[in-house]
């Protein structure tokens, strides 16, 4: 049986609020006879952790262990039966088509057109200036002891944000040091520890995390917050959320 990411529930911390059961689009969670959250079936859990963001007690976490693979078809059938067709259309991996269509992958992978801006062409202008002030930037490659991190404002950005946000360099990166990561596609083992070491060693002035609106991107926000907690440094994490249309939907 392969290892994969899946939700783990600390029954001692669970207070039975039920918020996770509604946050899980795949219907993988329910409350048992003792009013504690449990997995309905492991094959319904996609391991992306959308439920973590609503748990008020920290009873949920994503772990990597042996488990049957997530089955979007079965999850969709389960949600169709228990919640209806509108909810079934939101199940991760089934896209928006009927059940006999092949899974489409993460909701953030669904193909869609983004309407082009109707603003008139302003004509020739000076090239936009890069605000990147250090190298490397990929979290796997950076050293926590790199001198450029000292006394800096740190931006931890999901890979796609710089492509979605047209003024990324001017309005988000300017004046900050940068590390980038993808919580879905990267091998993220050690990311929390490395970020914690960056924070611990460098007297950072601030930490900002920039993510996309797609569900899997929220994992980067969680990693940054875990890193701050692990570091023991009392820093507030500012969060910027960017839509696939390039609009900032949450700032600060």
Please report whether residue 117 resides in a domain. Answer: no
Phi-psi region of 66 (alpha: psi -120 to 50; beta: other; left: phi over 0): beta
Q: What is the spatial distance between Cα 184 and Cα 196, in angstroms, rounded to a whole number?
A: 20
d(CA 6, CA 29): 12
Inside any domain, residue 244: yes
Query: Where is pLDDT greater, at 130 or 110?
Result: 130
Residues 74 and 156 in one domain: no
Q: What is the CA 79 to chain-centroid distance, rounded?
A: 23
Q: Which residues pair with 9 in a beta bridge?
A: 60
Containing H/E element for 21?
A: helix 19-23
User: What is the per-residue pLDDT for 189?
Assistant: 81
Could you give the number of structural domains in the chain? Answer: 2
Higher pLDDT, 107 or 13: 13
What does DSSP say about strands 3-9 and 177-181: parallel, antiparallel, or unpaired? Answer: unpaired
What pLDDT shows up at residue 118? 61
The CATH number for 23's domain is 3.30.70.20
Helices vs. strands in the chain: H and E counts, helices first? 6, 9
Query: What residues make up the domain containing 207?
Result: 147-250
Paired residues of 211 in beta bridges? 241
What angle is formed at CA 60 by the lines to CA 58 and CA 62, rounded to 5 degrees? 125
Mean pLDDT over 2-17 rounds to: 92
**Mind listing the pLDDT tens digit for each residue in 15-62?**
999 989 988 989 999 999 999 999 999 999 988 888 887 888 999 999
Last residue of a domain, one of 55, 73, 106: 106
User: Does residue 96 have a pLDDT over 50?
Assistant: no
Nearest by Cα to 240 from 230, 250, 229: 250
Residue ending a domain, among 74, 106, 138, is 106
pLDDT digits (tens, 9 = 90+) for 131-168: 999 999 999 999 999 999 999 999 999 999 999 999 99
Conformation bin of residue 93: beta by default, left when phi > 0, alpha when psi is -120 to 50:
left
- Looking at 82, 106, 130, the residue that finishes a domain is 106
Same domain, 100 and 19: yes
What is the widest separation between alpha-carbon atoms in the chain?
67
The answer to whether residue 130 sits within a structural domain is no
How many residues comprise the chain?
Answer: 252
Cα four-point dihedral sign 208, 212, 213, 219: negative
Any domain includes 131? no
Overall pTM > 0.85:
no
**pLDDT at 173 (0 to 100):** 96
Rounded mean pLDDT, 87-116: 58
Which residues are CB-neighbours of 160 under 8 A, at least 6 positions away? 182, 212, 217
Q: Is the pLDDT of residue 100 over 60?
A: no
Output the CA–CA distances (angstroms, integers) from residue 91 to 7, 104, 214, in the order listed: 16, 10, 13
Does 114 fall in a domain?
A: no
CA pair distance 130, 156, nearest whole angstrom: 17
103 has pLDDT over 70: no
Encode pLDDT of 177-234 as tens digits. Answer: 999 999 888 888 889 999 999 999 999 999 999 999 987 788 899 899 999 999 999 9
In a domain, 93, yes or no: yes
Q: Domain containing 228 — which CATH number?
A: 3.40.1360
**pLDDT, tens only, 73-85:** 999 999 999 988 8
Residue 124 maps to a domain: no
Judge whether 125 lies within some domain. no
- Cα–Cα distance measured from residue 229 to residue 224, given in angstroms and rounded to the nearest whole number: 9
């Amino acid at each position: 049986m392969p290892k994969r990411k899946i939700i783990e529930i600390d029954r001692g911390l669970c207070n039975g609020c039920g918020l996770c059961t509604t946050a899980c689009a795949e219907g993988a969670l329910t409350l048992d006879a003792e009013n504690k959250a449990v997995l309905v079936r492991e094959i319904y859990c996609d391991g992306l952790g959308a439920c973590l963001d609503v748990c008020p007690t920290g009873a949920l976490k994503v772990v990597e262990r042996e488990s049957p693979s997530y089955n979007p078809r079965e999850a969709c059938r389960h949600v169709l039966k228990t919640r209806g067709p509108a909810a079934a259309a939101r199940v991760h991996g089934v896209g928006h088509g009927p059940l006999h269509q092949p899974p489409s992958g993460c909701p953030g992978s669904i193909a869609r057109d983004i309407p082009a801006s109707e603003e008139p062409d302003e004509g020739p202008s000076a090239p936009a200036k890069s605000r990147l002030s250090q190298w490397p930037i990929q979290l796997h490659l950076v050293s926590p002891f790199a001198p450029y991190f000292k006394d800096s404002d740190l931006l931890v950005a999901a890979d796609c944000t710089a492509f979605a946000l047209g003024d990324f360099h001017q309005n988000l990166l300017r004046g900050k040091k940068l590390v980038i990561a993808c919580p879905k596609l990267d091998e993220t083992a050690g990311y929390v520890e490395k970020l914690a070491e960056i924070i611990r060693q460098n007297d950072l002035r601030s930490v900002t995390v920039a993510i996309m609106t797609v569900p899997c991107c929220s994992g980067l926000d969680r990693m940054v917050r875990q890193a701050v907690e692990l570091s023991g440094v009392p820093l507030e994490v500012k969060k910027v959320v960017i839509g696939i249309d390039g609009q900032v939907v949450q700032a600060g």
